[in-house]
Each structure stands twice: as structure tokens, then as C-alpha cells.
Amino acid sequence: MADLRVGFIGTGDPRAKRSVMGYAMAYRQAPGYVDLADKCKIVACADLVRERAEIFSETFDVPGVYTDYHEMLEKENLDMVSICTWMHLHEQMTVDCAEAGVRAVHCEKPMATTWAGCKRMAKVCADKGVQLTFNHMRRFGKPFREAKALLDAGEIGQLRTLQYGEANLYDGGTHHLDMFGFFNDQTPVEWAMAQIDYRTESLVFGSHNENVAYAVWKYQNGVYGQCLTGRAGRELIGAYDKLVGTEGAIEVGPFLPKGEERVMLRIMRKGSTKWENVDCGPEGLHGHNDDAKEPVLYHRRAVACAVQCLEEGTEPEIGAKNALQSTEITFACWESARRRGIVEFPLDIEDNPLDAMVASGDLKPAKRE
């Protein structure tokens, strides 16, 4: 019989088009619990729109359906809760779960919309002995794991720089910054410096994201992080994630010209001047290749990690400690743009610098139609 009673907050609508308004992430996490049917049972779900909760209930055979997650927490005696809502709701929902006595919270990324909120949700969970994890699922993908193995084997010499080109620092950036922590053995950051452009409103799940950012930061072991977000990121960096060493380089998801064969991972080893493709099978950047007959979903592996660590009492690599480390970089980069200077770590602010600059009128993004 399954020991862990699992609940979901925010089911989303699987019928809606995937967009910055939602991806119905509950439907990507739930199969992870279904895979562990001997250990877990999804017993309840809550969504503000009852019809959505009912569809989720029918899809995954969930007996408890609610429109108020507080009522769900009060009645269902849950052991573990998955939070699949927009970011500005994560902090309070996590705190409410911890105070309701759940043993674990598995939350969508990014953590929260303010630095104080990120720290608060992590502290409350730590104080109450609640395991808090975030769905930074790319840690469990073969292209990323293979890249780390090649790095650790010394195939590109000593790591010098980690780079990414992506839409932004926050919503998409959280994955890259988390992976950089993974690649660099969770080494803390010393300082960050960035400049941003935000002339056209860009709301992802209701939260502001800059249009373009150029950022650089330094880890305590001498490795540098670098990113260019927005329209020029792909052209400058040339890959989804790029690891540059003293004697070579690794590219995860290189941005190749149209018409060329898609590659998930390639390496220019020390002693060579040519790129060598690394076979990752059906596994892609987000969980599977589009043409895979049997998609491999990294979300399932993230859920499995959270459940295993809860059972064993071990520190999950997708836990709050590592999430705070990567999230701090995002807020520090925005704070650097606000200060127009270097920001030393640890970060000494509480708010969201990008939100604050918009609220004050320092940044005036034009509304999208």
C-alpha cells in the first residue's frame, strides 16, 4: 500500500494552449507519482476553477477535489504537496503547507517573486523539518549529466567559464543558473554585475522578465558565469549551455544553422580542433526529442528524487539550498542594473529589483496589446 498521501495545488488546464499564461505543469509532475504507485497516492487536488480540478481528478483517479487549497490541507492529512501555480503564489502556499504539517513540498520554479520571499519559504520549511524541492528537472537529463561527466573527466581541462543564451534571467534563466551550480559543484558566488533593457512589457506567468540582459558573475573558485538574454543571446553564446575550459569546450544544445542535424551535446576535447557529437539517445533539452517514440520526461525523475530523499532523509540536489544559490544570481543581476554597479554576495536586499524599478517609473515598459 502507498505510504505517502500526495496533493496538488494548481492543476491548470491541459486543453489550453501552452504559453506564458500556463503549461499545466501538474500534468507533467503527476506521472512521476503514478510511477511510484507502491509508495505514493495522489489523493487530492485543488484549483480555483473546479472544472480544471475535476479534469485532473478524472485523468489521475484523484478522489479529493477542491477549489480552496486551505480546505484541502485541513481535511486530507497530506504527506507531500506539489505546487504548480504562478510564481507570486509559491511563497505563501509553501508556508501554508509547512504549517499544515506536510512532510514535503515539491514546487514549480522559479522560487518566488522577491528575494525575501525565497528566503522565507526556505526558512519556514527548514524550521519545521519540511523537505522543500523545486522542479529544476534538467539536472536529470542525459545531455546535462553527460556534460558534467565529461567535465569531471578533465576532457576540456579546468573549467573557466559557464555561459548561456536564453530568453531571460528569471523564468528560463532559473534552469541555466541551477545547471551552472550543478556543473560547478554548487560553488558560491562572490559578485555579479549586469545591465538590462526593459522597454516592452514581458510577463511570464504574471511576473516581469527583462527583454535583454548582459550579465557576468564570479564564483569563489575563480570560474566565471556569463549570459546574454533576449534577441542576441543565441548568436553570441551559440548554445543553450556552454562550458569553456582551459583546453576545450562543451556545448549542451548548440544553436546550429537551419538544415543541420540537431545535436543535443557536443564536445571539443583537449588536443582537438573539431567538434565531436555525443549520443544522448532520445533525451533532449526539455525531457525528450520531438521524434522520440517513448518520451523521457525529466519531471518524473525530479519527483522520484524528491520522494527518495524524503524516504531516506537525505539532502535532495533539487532542494532549497541549491535553489537559493541560483536564484540569488538572478536578483543580484537585477540589483546590479538598479545600482549600476557590482553587487557583492551575500545579497543584501529583500525586494524584487526589476519589479521595483517598474513600480518607481525608472523602467517604463510599453504595454503589449
pLDDT tens for residues 212-224? 999 999 999 999 9
Cell of 300: 518524473
Rounded-to-integer distance, Cα 167 and Cα 147, Å: 22
Q: How confident is the model at residue 289 (pLDDT cuts 50, 70, 90)?
A: low
User: Is the per-residue pLDDT at 261 higher than 90?
Assistant: no
Per-residue pLDDT reduced to its tens digit, 111-148? 999 999 999 999 999 999 999 999 999 999 999 999 99
What residues have CB less than 8 Å from 127, skipping those under 6 apart?
Answer: none
User: What pLDDT was estimated at residue 26?
Assistant: 96
The answer to whether the beta carbons of residues 336 and 320 sit under 8 Å apart is no
Distance CA 197, CA 263 (A): 31
Instruction: Note the pLDDT tens digit of each residue in 36-63.
Output: 999 999 999 999 999 999 999 999 999 9
pLDDT at 290: 52
What Cα–Cα distance (Å) separates residue 198 from each residue in 92, 169, 201, 217, 236?
28, 12, 7, 21, 19
Per-residue pLDDT at 262: 85
Peptide bond into 346 cis (omega under 30): yes
What integer pLDDT is reported at residue 233 of this predicted model? 84
Spell 291-328 as b/e; 16+ CB within 10 A means b: eeeeebbbbbbbbbbbbebbeeeeebbbbbebbbbbbb
Domains detected in the chain:
4-138+297-318 (3.40.50.720), 139-292+319-369 (3.30.360.10)
Beta-carbon contacts of 35 under 8 Å, excluding residues fewer than 6 positions away, are: 300, 303, 304
Q: What percent of the chain has pLDDT over 70?
A: 95
| Average confidence (pLDDT) over 91-95 | 98
Question: Residues near 219 by Cβ (< 8 Å), separated by ≥ 6?
Answer: 184, 187, 188, 189, 190, 225
pLDDT category at 294 given cuts 50, 70, 90 is low
Residues counted in the chain: 369
Helix, strand or coil for residue 50?
Answer: helix
Residue type, 214: Y
Question: Is 292's pLDDT higher than 60?
Answer: no
Q: What is the 3-state secondary structure (H, E, C) of 227-246?
A: EEECCCHHHHHCEEEEEEEC
> If pLDDT is split at 50, 70 and 90, which confidence band does 22 have?
confident
The predicted pLDDT at position 288 comes to 66
297 grid coordinates = 520526461
* Angstrom distance (rounded) from CA 316 to CA 257: 38
Cβ distance 274 to 249 under 8 Å?
Answer: no
pLDDT at 16 over 80: no
Segment 169-218, tens digit of pLDDT:
999 999 999 999 999 999 999 999 999 999 999 999 999 999 999 999 99
Q: What are phi and psi of 164, to 5 degrees?
A: -145, 150
